[in-house]
Copies of this chain bind each other. A is one copy, B any other.
Amino acid sequence: MTDHRAARSADRTEAIMRATLDLALEAGYAKLSIEAVATRAGVGKHTIYRRWPSKGMLFLDAVLSMNTEDLVHRDTGDIVADTREVMIKATELLTGPPWAPLYRALLGEAQHDPKVAAGHKERFIQRQSDDFLRRLQTAQEQGQIASDFDLELAMDLLSGALYYRFLCTQEPITRDYIDRVLNAAFTGMAPRP
């Protein structure tokens, strides 16, 4: 049966990604080596090189195999509340254990490897942005966002503040901070008469 062959192959792939995440959590991404992954997964190095072209792409697949189905914007009619909900969930997921060091290492690797950067953008950022943009459009049509406001820029402002904290200042992102970001982005810096 071909099913058996495919199933065996999928099992191996999953075992390799599992071993990758385990080792990365134990010793850090810097210490991660193909040899160690192969040994941990009970697999020959060829079996890894046959599936992934580099350590970065393997790590990308491993990290993105996590469940992100619940990072979807609901539509309760309140754009601020719905956005806040997803921002909190995303922050807790990506900057809390166990994913914080993994996601941080992934973004770090993306700065060194363009293929990892492209994969992350296409398979994670893009996916979240599309969903977010759809929700923003609905809100704009309902008059909850200024009709001439650039929605792509809204995403950059909101996401940017969180990523800036995560990647540059590396300070904790609290719920209070998220509230302040939302409030600031909606009210704007300009003085109100």
Contacts and interface: CB of A to CB of B under 8 A. Distances in A.
A112 B112 CA distance: 12
Contacts of A190: 145-146, 186-188
Contacts of A111: 104-105, 107-108, 111, 167
A121 to B, nearest CB: 6
B153 A181 contact: yes
Nearest to A111: B108
Given A157-B185, A160-B161, A184-B154, A144 B110 contact: no
Interface string A81-118: 00000000000000000000000110111111100010
B191 A147 contact: yes
Nearest to A143: B191
B167 A161 contact: no
A66 interface: no
A120 B112 CA distance: 17
Interface string A109-147: 111110001001100010000000000000000011111
Contacts of A146: 187-192
Contacts of A113: 30
Contacts of A112: 28-30, 105, 108
A169 interface: yes
Contacts of A150: 180, 184
B191 A188 contact: no
A170 interface: yes
Contact of A187 (B28, B105, B167, B188): B188
Interface of A: 28-30, 104-105, 107-113, 117, 120-121, 125, 143-147, 149-150, 153-154, 156-157, 159-165, 167-170, 180-181, 184-192
The 5 tightest CB contacts between A and B, nearest first, are A188-B188, A108-B111, A160-B160, A160-B164, A160-B161
